[in-house]
Amino acid sequence: MSVLVGTETRLCVSGITGSEGSFHALNNRSYGTNVVSGVTPGKGGQDVEGIPVFNTFHAAVEESGANTAMIFVPPPFAADSILEAADAGIETIIAITEGIPAHDELRVYTQLKRMPGVRLIGPNCPGVLSPGKANVGIIPASFFKEGNVGVMSRSGTLTYQIGNELAQKGFGNSSIVGIGGDPIPGSSFVDVLELFENDDQTELIVMSGEIGGDAEEVAAEYIAEHVTKPVVGYIAGFSAPPGKTMGHAGAIVSGSKGTAAAKTEALEAKGVRVGRTPTQVAEIAVEILGG
């Protein structure tokens, strides 16, 4: 099995006629993802190397049966594109766009919570990869093979690094989920933990966090109460200075809150082993699952 994307995925790409949207849509298709359509207002009736383009998500869903959306439109228009996809009946929306205004993210988050059955991953995320099944986003799939380790991360590049370290130890992945590094993500670590806990293929969960916010602390509490599978953690940012944003908009430390040390302490207090480096994360995985 897998989480979020797989053999049943029928992908529609918003912004498919742009350079980035077309490049990654075709790259996802080359991997084996079933890319059934794209959306660009005003360009309906065109196609991108055989992928039909529609003016709206409603038309794309009706004509192509899309059930998953990838958002690759500029920040000022991304929120409306996400909400249009949800209104059209898309169940899984993966927003790659970076730089969406925080008030737009809050509007999207609030409205989607009123729409049961709709799940948003991102924004500002690398996407979701289920090796051997489907790739929706910008994750370099060549790093990964199918296996039993589920990975979720706030950082794209750390996702790739940890995945590579696991691969060097002989591990493959059930799914890799980048939740994004913005202050208001559509899905949290807790949301993805629930998916991995219920996924038969996943035997070990790796959670890669970073400074800022309390997502990792909340996840620690959830793991202690609801997760039966082993979880290995990694927190980036031990050397981050207080009050300075480090890369992602949500990666900012205020006083003693949101520090890497505080997050690591919260996880370890709940029995989660935390690697200090991506290499150590893979070594812990070997100890737990064997290698």
Distance CA 203, CA 254 (A): 35
pLDDT recorded at residue 77: 97
Helix (H) or strand (E) holding 69, with range, is: strand 68-71
For 88-106, how does the pLDDT look when each residue is reduced to its tens digit (9 = 90+)? 999 999 999 999 999 999 9
Residue 186, pLDDT above cutoff 80 = yes
pLDDT recorded at residue 257: 54
Distance CA 188, CA 181 (A): 10
CATH number of 144-289: 3.40.50.261
Distance CA 139, CA 56 (A): 26
Contact 166, 110 (CB under 8 A): no
Binning pLDDT at 50, 70 and 90, where does residue 129 land? Answer: very high
Annotated active-site residue in 24, 58, 103, 248: 248
Q: Which residue has the tokens 């799939």?
A: 141
Q: Are strands 92-95 and 35-39 parallel, antiparallel or unpaired?
A: unpaired
For 221-250, how does the pLDDT look when each residue is reduced to its tens digit (9 = 90+)? 999 999 999 999 999 865 555 555 444 444
**Is 226 known to be catalytic?**
no
Mean pLDDT of 31-56: 98
Binning pLDDT at 50, 70 and 90, where does residue 256 land? Answer: very low
Distance CA 276, CA 259 (A): 14
Percent of the chain with pLDDT over 70: 92
Domains 11-121 and 144-289 share a fold: yes
Binning pLDDT at 50, 70 and 90, where does residue 291 land? Answer: low
CB under 8 Å to 255, separation ≥6 — which residues? 242
CB under 8 Å to 27, separation ≥6 — which residues? 135
pLDDT recorded at residue 239: 53
Amino acid present at 266: A
pLDDT recorded at residue 242: 55
Q: What does pLDDT average to over the chain?
A: 92
Distance CA 281, CA 265 (A): 16
CATH 1.10.287.3510 fits 11-121, yes or no: no
Report the chain's C-alpha Rg in angstroms: 18
Phi, psi of 80 (to 5 degrees): -65, -35
Kindly report which listed range (73-77, 193-197, 275-279) carries the lowest average pLDDT score.
275-279
Binning pLDDT at 50, 70 and 90, where does residue 157 land? Answer: confident
Q: Are strands 127-130 and 273-275 parallel, antiparallel or unpaired?
A: unpaired
The structure's pTM equals 0.92
Binning pLDDT at 50, 70 and 90, where does residue 1 land? Answer: confident
Of residues 2 and 50, more confidently modeled: 50
Domain borders along the chain are 11-121, 144-289
Binning pLDDT at 50, 70 and 90, where does residue 211 land? Answer: confident
